[in-house]
Amino acid sequence: MSENVLRLSGITKAYNRGAPNEVNVLRGIDLDVGTGEVVALVAPSGAGKSTLLHIAGLLDTPDAGKVEITGQDMTGRGDRKRTRVRRSDVGFIYQFHHLLPEFSALENIVLPQLANGVSKAAAEARAQELLDRVGIADRADHRPAALSGGEQQRVAFCRALANGPKLLLADEPTGNLDPGTSDQVFAALMDLVRGTGLSAVIATHNLDLAARMDRQIRLDAGQLVAD
């Protein structure tokens, strides 16, 4: 098995192919992310970072090229296999928390585990432990509306890690927060990622945050350039 948790080779993606408004978003992307490596993806708005993260996380398929997750080549694999690998190996974080409003913080972290076959008691214990690690154990019973923006994102981080993924993909995880909060919440995310030895690709416009990761790559004209 490859030691790369994520390997992208020759990924291309166009929207509206063949039409006058064709957009060639990705033009040959090669990227290796090793075990425990945290990579900053820096890109101007519209450069295609969401497209790239969705392809890497098996939510979308490339026009050409190969996606390997934990050494498994996903090319041509059916939806069931892709969903299984995505659920067990990949965690997603977005700019907005997307928590279920009618459930508590704890329940939001428990539910994906139940969907993955974990017992209720084990899922609750893991959820409580994750909340503790991001410093909001005392907010477990609060619904999202009763949490601050920073707390909501911390819960979203816990939910993304609930099933013990190998790869975390984050799209502007603190982009919706004011600068002071963003800094603290980002530090909590990095502690969580480092503490679990997880590999991550974290998209950010913030160069200070990017500098705290192991490596920075820039998406420019559909290709990746090392910074």
Ligand X SMILES: Nc1ncnc2c1ncn2[C@@H]1O[C@H](COP(=O)(O)OP(=O)(O)OP(=O)(O)O)[C@@H](O)[C@H]1O
Residue ranges binding ligand X (CB under 6 A): 15-16, 23, 25, 43, 45-51
**Beta carbon nearer to ligand X, 24 or 35:** 24
CB of 12 vs ligand X, minimal distance in Å: 13
**What phi-psi label fits residue 96: left (phi over 0), alpha (psi between -120 and 50 degrees) or beta?**
beta
- How far apart CA 93 and CA 142 sit, in angstroms, is 20
* Euclidean distance between CA atoms 121 and 139, whole angstroms: 19
Q: How far is the CB of 58 from ligand X (least distance, A)?
A: 16
Task: Report d(CA 12, CA 107) in Å as an integer.
Answer: 38
In the bound state with ligand X, the residue whose beta carbon lies nearer, of 15 and 102, is: 15
- Give me the least distance between CB of 48 and ligand X, in Å please: 4
| Shortest reach from residue 215's CB to ligand X, in Å | 19
Nearer to ligand X, 119 or 223 (CB): 223
SS3 state of residue 86: helix
Tokens 């090392």 belong to 226
Question: For ligand X, which is the closer residue by CB, 5 or 47?
Answer: 47
Amino acid at 186: F
In one-letter notation, the amino acid at residue 143 is: R
